[in-house]
Amino acid sequence: MIGRKITSIHGAGGFETREVIEKLVVSRMPRELWRALDGSGLDVLEDGSTLRINDEEYLVVSMDNYTVKPLFFPGGDIGHLAASGVLNDLVVMNARPVAFMDGLIVEEGFPRRDLEKILDSMTRVLKENNVALIGGDFKVMPRGSLDGVVISGTGIGLSKKPLINDPRPGDKVIVTGPIAEHGATILAAQMGMLEEAPGLQSDSKPLVKTVLPVIEEYRDHIHAARDPTRGGLSVVLNELVYGKDLAVLINRSQVPVREEVRMFLDALGIDPLNVASEGIAVIVVDPSKTSEVIEALHEKGEREAVVIGEVIKPENPIVKGRVIVETEVGGKTILQPNPLNLPRIC
Query: Pairing mode, if any, of strands 172-175 and 306-312?
Result: antiparallel
Task: Say which CATH architecture domain 34-159 belongs to.
Answer: 2-Layer Sandwich (3.30)
What are the C-alpha distances in Å from 28 to residues 14, 43, 44, 63? 21, 13, 16, 20
**In terms of pTM, does the model score above 0.95?**
no
Pairwise CA distance, residues 302 & 177, whole Å: 7
CATH 3.30.1330.10 domain extents, the chain: 34-159
> 172-334: what fold?
Phosphoribosyl-aminoimidazole Synthetase; Chain A, domain 2 (3.90.650)
Q: What's the half-sphere exposure (Cβ side, CA atoms, 13 Å) at 305?
A: 29
Q: Taking the CA atoms of 221, 223, 228 and 229 in sequence, report the sign of the dihedral they define.
A: positive
Per-residue pLDDT for the chain (346 aa), expressed as one digit of tens each? Answer: 677 777 766 665 666 777 777 778 888 998 999 999 999 888 887 778 999 999 999 999 999 999 999 999 999 999 999 999 999 999 999 999 999 999 999 999 999 999 999 999 999 999 999 999 999 999 999 999 998 999 999 999 999 999 989 999 999 999 999 999 999 999 999 999 999 988 999 999 999 999 999 999 999 999 999 999 988 999 999 999 998 999 999 999 999 999 999 999 999 999 999 999 999 999 999 999 999 999 999 999 999 999 999 999 998 888 999 999 998 777 899 998 776 667 778 8
Q: What is the 3-state secondary structure (H, E, C) of the chain?
A: CCCCCCCHHHHCCCHHHHHHHHHHHHHHCCHHHCCCCCCECCCCCCCCEEEECCCCCEEEEEEEEECCCCCEECCEEHHHHHHHHHHHHHHCCCCEEEEEEEEEEEECCCCHHHHHHHHHHHHHHHHHCCCEEEEEEEEEECCCCCCCEEEEEEEEEEECCCCCCCCCCCCEEEECCCCCHHHHHHHHHHCCCCCCCCCCCCCCCCCCCCCHHHHHHCHHHEEEEECCCCCHHHHHHHHHHCCCCCEEEEEHHHCCCCHHHHHHHHHHCCCHHHCCCCCCCEEEECHHHHHHHHHHHHHHCCCCCEEEEEEECCCCHHHCCCEEEECCCCCEEECCCCCCCCCCCC
CATH 3.90.650.10 domain extents, the chain: 172-334
**What pLDDT, on the 0 to 100 scale, is given for residue 315?**
87
**What pLDDT, on the 0 to 100 scale, is given for residue 13?**
63
Pairwise CA distance, residues 243 & 33, whole Å: 22
